[in-house]
Amino acid sequence: MKTNRRQFLSAAGAAVLGSALCVNFPLSAQTPDEIEMTVCQLTNKTRSQMMSYIIRTKTGELIVVDGGMAGDADHLLEMLEKLGGPKPKVTAWFLSHCHSDHFMALTELIRTDRLPEVEKFYFNFPELKWIETYEAVWAHEAKCFFEHIVKVQDRIITTRKDQKLTFGPLTVTVLNDPYLCERNPVNNSNVCFRFETRNSSLIFLGDLGKEGSTELLKLQPAEMLRAEAVQMAHHGQQGATRELYAVIAPKICFWPTPDWLWNNDRGKGPDSGPWKIRLEQQWMKELNVQTHYIGKDGTVCVDLD
């Protein structure tokens, strides 16, 4: 059964979320010297899938990737305060692409005047007119984002392919510019990021699709794509290709995936849904990935040394 993105976003309403297995907090003010970055994958606080990560470096920088839906904003702010104190300072906020389950938490924090101090925002979104032309069903949410982000326009950096940014021990490389095509258009316009320290690396794929995966494999040599850890594209189903994952060859997978999607459950039990997550679960078995962090299990913070 073919399902469009609106069905994908709304179908969680038919399923019951599992209980969250939360991390013990507070963490120490500084990560140990041998741990160069801690990756926190935040669980969904609504019935929608979403993507929200906070990275903390050993020198104290806080970096946000996406943030989730509007209903995830409170948890995001709570986690920033636990990681950075009562008045957290975000060094960099990266956005992967212009879909609401990735940017609406940020939009909500701006709208309600609760945005913590943020030094810079990094993204490269297509123009609203392009979204209205090729994916009109999401144009309203995109318009809302553009209307609110102007409040911080003096701190916005438009990313570009091969741009390198340094935050303490962490280097972030922008792997691509938006790939604008007519198939799965906004997902394929996703910008991917490589986070790297001396001893570890993590690639954020956002919601990259098949066409964007093929393009990324052309744009970057294998050594720039190979990484210890990967964020599973499009919440772990119908996203990046097996070929791209094989080149990345991860040891760790971060799945921004709620329980209904992980179990392919549309409300009538496991495998009652139309999603293709079992295929990608099988891919990771074939690639011999042993370590998985899944959004359905709650917010988790992982030290990558």
Domain assignment of residue 147, yes or no: yes
Q: How much is the pLDDT for 31?
A: 44
In a domain, 260, yes or no: yes
Q: How many structural domains compose the chain?
A: 1
Give the domain CATH number at 119: 3.60.15.10
The partner residues of 156 in beta bridges, in order of sequence, read: 121
* Structure token pair of residue 175: 């792997």
CB neighbourhood size of 1 (10 A): 7
The answer as to whether 42 is a domain residue is yes
Regions of the chain where pLDDT drops below 50: 1-31
Residue 158 counted as domain residue:
yes
Complete edge-to-edge strand list for the sheet that includes strand 252-255:
164-167, 170-174, 193-196, 201-204, 229-231, 252-255, 291-294
Q: pTM, whole model, 2 decimals?
A: 0.91
Contact 64, 94 (CB under 8 A): yes
Percent of the chain whose predicted confidence (pLDDT) is above 70: 89
Q: What is the per-residue pLDDT for 35?
A: 86
Number of neighbouring beta carbons within 10 Å of residue 290? 9
Q: Tokens 């906070």 sit at which residue?
A: 54
pLDDT at 26: 41
Supply the pLDDT for residue 20.
32
Parent domain of 67: 5-296
Is residue 304 assigned to a domain? Answer: no
Indicate whether 302 belongs to any domain.
Answer: no
In 3-state terms the chain splits into helix, strand, coil percentages (rounded to 5) of 35, 20, 45
Residue 301 domain flag: no
Residue 303 in domain: no
- Which pLDDT score is estimated for 14? 29
